[in-house]
Chains A and B, each alone.
Chain A
């Protein structure tokens, strides 16, 4: 291997650090009209009247768009494959506003200052309605968040809007009653997980212009350019062939840019006026008016026999999708489907629940996508169960967890809103990950706790996790490779680099297959006119799905070159040895350089363009696995936690680029620690978002970050490109349960409500002491 599993630098990092214009707002036409959105001050209201006449008289105001200006066609902004498993419950603008920050109207002006001034000259009269602000009470509430008749599901997802239910699902296997009867110990616990904000550093941004063919060209900071094109066409009745979506460099997404945001308004303005237009969210809008992670209540019951065999899992989940149902069903299902298979030896299991509408900022896709919530509940309860059984939690996991060559019935039953896909674990080094993590964290010297004698206790906690590698039979990625004169290649992919490094690792896969240095493969990604299709950057799909497409395209290109060489050298193709820069003939001194071959077919003889296109969809989704371990020092009196080290041992198959894979894991760990320890989206009693800036919503800074110890298991997934599985999400899953388990090991209190703050720890200790007295 020349390129794979080597420390190759990212293909674009230097240029970005040097400040070259690369991001969406950098590329806006300087003469763009500025689009600003007037947002709802009410959690739930009906717009009675809009008086825009004063605003329209202001010099520089181009137009004010209200719900009356748009086709009344429900759609979903979710940015998923079609038909979507999310309800079509959104209008570009609507006569109802459903959360504080929802879109009332859009002002379009020559510059930002004029647009802001114009908003102050608009009178909106609202009929304020009773909002639904507590998701525990949302179902069958007297207020209906979505009373409109036109909204619908695309296929059965349990959609009952009149009851405030966006989606519902249930599955079971085995005889649950019998399995619990056969259990010697049963534990039942309820957990709650909070909304988390994505806080990608680049706010959502979009700009548009018309090209000389009168087509709409949209630059968007999106994770899903092809879905954006489709949704714009469907929602605005603009023919799809009139739309080009370009994804430039994106400044982080984490799921928050899977759905679409300002694209529809900006596209409409440019399409109607012929003038370039742009919209970049303020940080307040990113917090208030984009998406959060789905808050969930997870009620879980485990049964095991005295020998430590896990027999049964019964699980009910209530999820809060907020004002719109983007990813409602699928995030909730992943809380089961990418967590339950960890313990595949149970006799019976049930997973069921509801996803409800409320008048909060909508929830959407967020790295981990339900698995982090589910993992917190299951991996916390496993430790509680072990305590009741008086069995070491490591021994219990080694006995009950999924191993290589095994399967789980859950894979076949649960998919992404549909049935799943049966599969065996061809690679699962969870046993290695667990054992190696114990060594790296120094478990035997620190478990369960060491009193440090200074009022602090040192302890350790751990959790196992799995994720996926794309959605089988749904996610498709494609790649095209073109041979140029001078013998270098262009690689065009629909895959969407949002900072995770996919442009680099996809170029590595092509370079390895074509046996050239990575500099000889020039990658260009995510332009709906110029690159082949790809679903986009989500569901941990890019390395596995798009990577396989690139691998296949490169093999096809190699075949084309071999045929050309055989023709030129007048031998059979079987006699050609492809050596990247040089082509040999077997058992002969005859050779031909790629430079000569490419120049000859470009300029001199039998001229032609060689291109190879291939695509891939998974027939399975090999899960990456990991074991995560946290070491903490905790103050016995104040509950203050110092995170000392976080050990991750990951099986993601072969790492195409070890440093970039490590970056994916560590970035995920730190986001997961933020959620586990202090990040929380808070609303006032009236539904106003309190945490709407970076002072009130704290994300980890470099000072909060402990030592991170990250290793990869030796693993080779035969179905992946060069043995790789995906790695984008797996890092985020373990911190909540690992931290909760460490706190329990330190102080004997079990925090079941995220985030795990010193206040909650102190309160739990006081409650425990009261009970003991």
Chain B
């Protein structure tokens, strides 16, 4: 079947199987920032933005995305660069496998959370697992990025 997406600002038509997940569609079409970590909605590394909201692409059928606006870090380079300024400064980047997904979640959070506080930030981020960093340096970077109103 054919599915039309607005992928990173460009209209794209993909030919997919009815049971194909968005994660596989994207990776098969060279959107490689989106990672497969568990294929069971439990780790967060496959996060993409669907109409601006973080979703797990490993459990989202591509067919259900007809007409949707799908954004990955490939389509948000300037904002990711801005977030990375704080992330790199804190030394929060270790293996990086989860970092594109973390960046997307944080960028979406900045739009959606009014008056973020430590509790609401952690609740927003809780689905993005990281096994390397211990989270504390990441959280410092996230806080600074959210405070940056430029």
Contact = CB atoms under 8 A, between A and B. Distances in A.
Given A10-B91, A199-B131, A702-B125, A23 B84 contact: no
Contacts of A26: 32
Given A18-B73, A499-B95, A702-B139, A694 B40 contact: yes
Interface stretch (B60-68, B97-105, B109-117): B97-105
A659 interface: yes
Given A14-B81, A703-B123, A670 B99 contact: no
Contact of B42 (A12, A667, A694, A708): A694
A202 B73 contact: no
Contacts of B125: 702
A202 B94 contact: no
A702 B80 CA distance: 21
Name which of A21, A30, A667, A671 has the most chain B CB atoms within 10 A of its CB.
Answer: A667
A671 B129 CA distance: 12
Nearest to A205: B36
B36 A203 contact: yes
Nearest to B73: A19
Contacts, number: 173
Interface string A185-222: 00000000000001111110000000000000000000
A666 B38 contact: no
Contact of B131 (A23, A30, A671): A671
Interface string A546-558: 0000000000000
B52 interface: no
A501 interface: yes
A77 interface: no
Name which of A199, A694, A700 has the most chain B CB atoms within 10 A of its CB.
Answer: A694
Contact of B134 (A20, A252, A498, A663): A663
Given A13-B84, A18-B81, A702 B138 contact: yes
In this complex, the interface size class of chain A, counting residues with CB under 8 Å from chain B, is 35 or more
Name which of A20, A23, A30, A701 has the most chain B CB atoms within 10 A of its CB.
Answer: A701
Q: Secondary structure of the B side of the interface? A: loop
B54 to A, nearest CB: 14
B77 interface: yes
A13 B93 contact: yes
Q: Secondary structure of the A side of the interface? A: loop
A694 B131 CA distance: 12
A666 B96 contact: no
Interface residues of B, number: 52
A9 B126 CA distance: 26
Given A10-B93, A14-B81, A705 B135 contact: yes
Nearest to B92: A663
B129 A669 contact: no
A461 to B, nearest CB: 19
B98 A201 contact: yes
B3 interface: no
A500 B91 CA distance: 11
Top 6 nearest A-B pairs (CB, nearest first) are A499-B95, A659-B91, A19-B33, A251-B97, A13-B93, A16-B96
Interface of A: 7, 9-10, 12-14, 16-23, 25-26, 30, 198-203, 249-252, 254, 280, 282-283, 498-501, 657-660, 662-663, 666-671, 693-695, 699-703, 705, 707-708
Given A10-B93, A19-B31, 10 more contacts: A14-B88, A19-B100, A201-B129, A201-B132, A202-B35, A499-B95, A660-B91, A667-B133, A694-B43, A695-B42
